[in-house]
Structure 1
Amino acid sequence: MALPNFSQIKVLVVGDVMLDRYWSGATARVSPEAPVPVVNINDAEDRPGGAANVAINLSSLGAKVTLLGMTGNDANADALEKRLLGYGIDCHFSRCDGFDTITKLRVMSRNQQLLRMDFERSFADVDKASLESQFAAALADHDLVILSDYAKGALSNPARLIELAKAENKPVVVDPKGTDFKKYHGATLITPNMAEFTAVMGDVNSEQHLVELANMLCSDLALDALLVTRSEQGMTLFTPDETEFHLPAKAKEVFDVTGAGDTVISTLAACIAAGESLQQSCVMANLAASIVVGKLGTSTVTTTELAVAAGQHNHPDGGVMTEEQLALAVSAAKQRGEKVVMTNGCFDILHAGHVSYLDAAAKLGDRLIVAVNTDASVQALKGPGRPVNPVQRRMAVLAGLSAVDWVVPFSEETPQRLIAGILPDVLVKGGDYKVEEIAGGMEVLENGGVVKVLHFEEGVSTTGIIETIVKQQSYGKS
């Protein structure tokens, strides 16, 4: 995947700006005044937060950014603006006398947060004439608008901003907040997380139910698209009259999800402004999220990091899925005329034999599914001490292989039920099996599919690797 050229785009960000302040120091004793630790502060750091963090994410990608927001007329507003100017961001704050700049002060020790103090008063009732005037004046010089709503009052009337943007044919991407999304009616796209989505639309019972509710919301709000971010389940794009587009999470390790939503909306919006399709823009946003959650604290993603990540993924919509998500992905693939191949196994310690087998299986079609035994299923098959690697790690490694598109777990002794539900075009099994012995084979054949047996590479097996390790350890002790 090629990275878009972000250097020529201009994005207008409007929303709730805030200052994230960190005081850090050592903790060695408990206060004699109360049962609380005493922190000897030796370091202080200010970071722009909220809509300001969205602006920084855009700037880190190389975009030109204008930021509008509301602050107090105080030193914290000065500190926030100074930090943003350092990123080359054009700031226009509506400063309000009698209000504090929204500030979140965190007291830290040994990388642990001991206390958070919030200094804020809602700007909801403040006259927005100045903000709206600045917005209207800036529109013509920008390619796209982001509304970053943290429910602090700067966006108490987003409908007016959306109306002004639409009059100028500017796309509006919204990171929403609250339980009433009607105020975002007419936006191009909104990006709620799953908790925000269910707070508005009610509990989701299944993937199909999610699709129905998402389409309903798109219709009710006259949206061009809806992107629901789903934490460890990735994200799903919904567009009217089109099949949903699901992207499994790409992160291999998660250290901190702080600011991940800001990274998603900034990368998504930057790609749209650069002329990318909605699906391609979501692919890039998903990759950016996988990078930023691997960092501690509120962080950004650089174009270099994004380019490296994009180059590593041949199948951007691939990864670890639930059975329901897989069924939807397979249905969409078949509608596109793609041949789906499926295999299964424990894949406890991935080795060269596995890799060559999966490469051969992938060549039999356009998409390769690997069904993986859960830990309990492996133990039932292989006995005590197995698996060596838990199922989440086994699936993550498999999902990283270029030959593999989708990885799904199954808990039964065989994947017959799963295969019968998916009905791949080609079912593959490794070893010396006969076709009639392969779980799910009869169902695939009856559906007009093909069942093939591929031979594993000689002399390589997980059991053999484990035995070699045990022998070497025993030899070292003798």
Structure 2
Amino acid sequence: MSGDEERGPADQRGLTEQRRLTEQRGLADWLPARLAAVAPSVTVIGDVMLDGWWSGSIDRLCREAPAPVVDITRRMFAPGGAANTAMNLAALGAKVRVAGLVGCDDAGMELRRQLRAAGVNTSHLHEHPDMVTTSKIRISSAGQVLLRFDDVTGKVPSDALAALALSLPAAVRGQDAVVVCDYGTGALQGPVRSALLEMLSSRDASQLAVVDAHDPRPWAGMRPDLATPNAAEAARLLGIQLTSGSDRPAVMAARRDELIDATGARAVVVTLDRDGTLLLPGTGDSHRTWARPATEKQASGAGDTFVAALTLARAATLPLSTSVDLAQAAADVVVHHPGTSVCSTADLTRHLASFADTALSADELARHIQADRAEGRRIVLTNGCFDVLHRGHTRYLNQAKQLGDILVVALNSDASVRRLKGPDRPINSVADRAGVIAALSCVDYVTVFDTPTPIPLIEKLRPEIYAKGGDYTPEMLAETEAVERFGGTVTILDYVPDLSTTAVVQRIRNGEGAEVGEAPVN
């Protein structure tokens, strides 16, 4: 399923209203709470585990070997793997079931306890006396992970797999979405895989299927809606090696058809850790997100958070590119939290709201740009009103970002918009416009200008690239001379003639929904 095609039985009401609200108020004000209110039902099936984070101080070496002695002062446990995906879904408001295998041990009891406390249905989480619950314990001191030891069942008993396979029809029936989390620890082999492939390959079109697997190829016959390999996993699918200097997004984009064929998915989202993600739909435009990484911390599970938020947004019928942007924001939240953590509705709301009032003064911006340029980064500047955000805007801004390393968006002030567009504009104040634009992962800095042209700002920032959208040529722009005087280049980006803010605003004022036959928004 692609574009804005709606799914049931998730809440079918109000996709048009969602669009109107997005256009009028911005993502930060309403979207996380709205998704929580829709509360899609999701089953997560796969390799559940328990993550441990033990920390302490080091004051001595042990006598029998030159190894540090860690005096443990703190032990923390959190659901990991498929269980972490389920925890994140529940924290974001989904109704969640988890299906998997655990042992009859303390780790299994703790895992089940935490899942239940979070509101996750564990009736399809099967125990077996001949298994150990997969556990990954990290030992750290002074913020540095020193060691991780894993406890994993060598061979999953056949009767455990049979029991899980028998319970899958009940676990999947009537759910809005199914997430398959295959990390290779054995819960999804044999009869479990066969049952899932049979059920989900013939699923109702309204049921979303997402595959998050170290190797998505065994799940290609399921024809999932989404597959989410990381860059290394995607490289293995393609039979290539990525070097440290590889332009990973460009490599993946060039091999889109091969990734779609290998995964069997309608769309592939390649996660690129500190470089964000790349959405590759089977048809239509690709879409990038850019991460806002933390400094190195003891954090794990951002990929699980990404998959959870992506699944929730798609199950609630949000457009695919919007869903990926939202998932990137959720992942950005958890990388700033230590340990294995989740992003809740409140966390996501605060994160998106934090981009309000983030416009920098020209002088502040110049100081940031000076530091970025000193590190070898190329600066891209663009400008506009960006009053009511639509697909043409986001496509244009993603293209602009890919011209360099740092994207600066200069917004026309409210007075400037009135001079350009008339007394009824802008619809949104410059503070609201700045907050929405700054929340886009492709945007690094936002500033505001009130002059007739951005030439004074160009002279202060001296961007390597000045990007402009529309049916212009560089010769038509007054800014071209200033850009080229400082060695910069003017680039004209794709023009989408059938999309305009004026038309969107008129539809809203007329109380109209999307036009019948309108092209889907990816």
TM value normalised by structure 1? 0.68
| Contact 1:339-1:425 at 8 Å conserved across structures | no
Q: Distance in 1 between matches of 2:158 and 2:196?
A: 16
Matched with 1:50 is 81
Matched with 1:152 is 185
1:183 aligns with 2:219: yes
1:119 aligns with 2:151: yes
1:231, CA displacement in angstroms?
1.7
1:22, CA displacement in angstroms?
3.2
CA distance 1:346–1:203, shift in 2 (3 Å): closer
| Contact 1:424-1:444 at 8 Å conserved across structures | no
| Contact 1:60-1:300 at 8 Å conserved across structures | yes
How many residue pairs match? The answer is 386
Q: Distance in 2 between matches of 1:430 and 1:420?
A: 11
1:59, CA displacement in angstroms?
1.2
Q: Distance in 2 between matches of 1:439 and 1:151?
A: 52
| Contact 1:6-1:271 at 8 Å conserved across structures | no
What are the superposed Cα offsets for residues 49-106 of structure 1, whole Å, 9 maximum, x if unpaired? 1111111111111211111111122232112111211112111322223221111223
Q: Give the 5 Å matches for 1:274-423.
A: 274-311=316-353, 359=412, 399-401=444-446
1:150, CA displacement in angstroms?
1.4
Q: 2:62 aligns with which of 16, 31, 50?
A: 31
1:309, CA displacement in angstroms?
3.0
Matched with 1:106 is 138
Q: Distance in 1 between matches of 2:313 and 2:63?
A: 55
Aligned residue for 2:49, secondary structure, equals strand
Matched with 2:269 is 227
| Contact 1:162-1:187 at 8 Å conserved across structures | no
Letter of the aligned partner of 1:105 in structure 2?
I
What are the superposed Cα offsets for residues 350-397 of structure 1, whole Å, 9 maximum, x if unpaired? xxxx99x7647x9799xxxxxxxxxxxxxxxxxxxxxxxxxxxxxx99
Q: Distance in 1 between matches of 2:483 and 2:100?
A: 66
1:90 aligns with 2:121: yes
Matched with 1:392 is none
Q: Distance in 2 between matches of 1:290 and 1:38?
A: 34
What are the superposed Cα offsets for residues 15-57 of structure 1, whole Å, 9 maximum, x if unpaired? 1111122333332222222222223333322221111111111
Q: Distance in 1 between matches of 2:74 and 2:54?
A: 6
Q: CA RMSD in A?
A: 4.4
Q: Distance in 2 between matches of 1:93 and 1:346?
A: 46
What are the superposed Cα offsets for residues 394-439 of structure 1, whole Å, 9 maximum, x if unpaired? xx997142669xxxxxxxx9877x66999994767989x6687464
Letter of the aligned partner of 1:116 in structure 2?
R
CA distance 1:66–1:209, shift in 2 (3 Å): same
CA distance 1:85–1:30, shift in 2 (3 Å): same
Q: 2:198 aligns with which of 160, 163, 167?
A: 163
CA distance 1:216–1:85, shift in 2 (3 Å): same
Q: Distance in 2 between matches of 1:56 and 1:286?
A: 17
1:235, CA displacement in angstroms?
0.7
Matched with 1:15 is 46
Q: Distance in 2 between matches of 1:402 and 1:130?
A: 59
1:191, CA displacement in angstroms?
0.5
| Contact 1:256-1:294 at 8 Å conserved across structures | no
1:250, CA displacement in angstroms?
3.4
1:239, CA displacement in angstroms?
0.9
What are the superposed Cα offsets for residues 115-134 of structure 1, whole Å, 9 maximum, x if unpaired? 32211124556352211221
1:256, CA displacement in angstroms?
4.5
Q: Distance in 1 between matches of 2:400 and 2:201?
A: 45
| Contact 2:220-2:262 at 8 Å conserved across structures | no
What are the superposed Cα offsets for residues 124-171 of structure 1, whole Å, 9 maximum, x if unpaired? 563522112211112224211111111101122535314313434222
Q: Distance in 1 between matches of 2:35 and 2:467?
A: 45
Q: Distance in 2 between matches of 1:287 and 1:136?
A: 33
Instruction: Tell me which structure has the larger Cα radius of gyration.
Output: 1
Letter of the aligned partner of 1:73 in structure 2?
C
CA distance 1:340–1:54, shift in 2 (3 Å): closer
Moved more, 104-113 or 219-228: 104-113
Aligned residue for 1:304, secondary structure, equals helix
| Contact 1:340-1:426 at 8 Å conserved across structures | no
| Contact 2:398-2:442 at 8 Å conserved across structures | no
CA distance 1:172–1:439, shift in 2 (3 Å): same
| Contact 1:76-1:101 at 8 Å conserved across structures | yes
TM value normalised by structure 2? 0.63
1:195 aligns with 2:232: yes
Identity of aligned residues (%): 29
Matched with 2:97 is 66
Higher relative contact order (CA 8 A, sep 6+): 2
| Contact 2:287-2:398 at 8 Å conserved across structures | no
Q: Distance in 2 between matches of 1:105 and 1:190?
A: 28
Aligned residue for 1:5, secondary structure, equals helix
Moved more, 105-114 or 89-98: 105-114
1:182, CA displacement in angstroms?
3.7
CA distance 1:199–1:124, shift in 2 (3 Å): farther
| Contact 1:57-1:301 at 8 Å conserved across structures | yes
| Contact 1:135-1:161 at 8 Å conserved across structures | yes
Q: Distance in 2 between matches of 1:73 and 1:79?
A: 11
| Contact 2:41-2:94 at 8 Å conserved across structures | yes
Aligned residue for 1:85, secondary structure, equals helix
| Contact 1:175-1:192 at 8 Å conserved across structures | yes
What are the superposed Cα offsets for residues 311-366 of structure 1, whole Å, 9 maximum, x if unpaired? 4569xxxxx9x98x99xxxxx96997999999x9999xxxxxx99x7647x9799x
1:263, CA displacement in angstroms?
0.4
| Contact 2:237-2:262 at 8 Å conserved across structures | no
Matched with 2:369 is none
Q: Distance in 2 between matches of 1:80 and 1:335?
A: 41
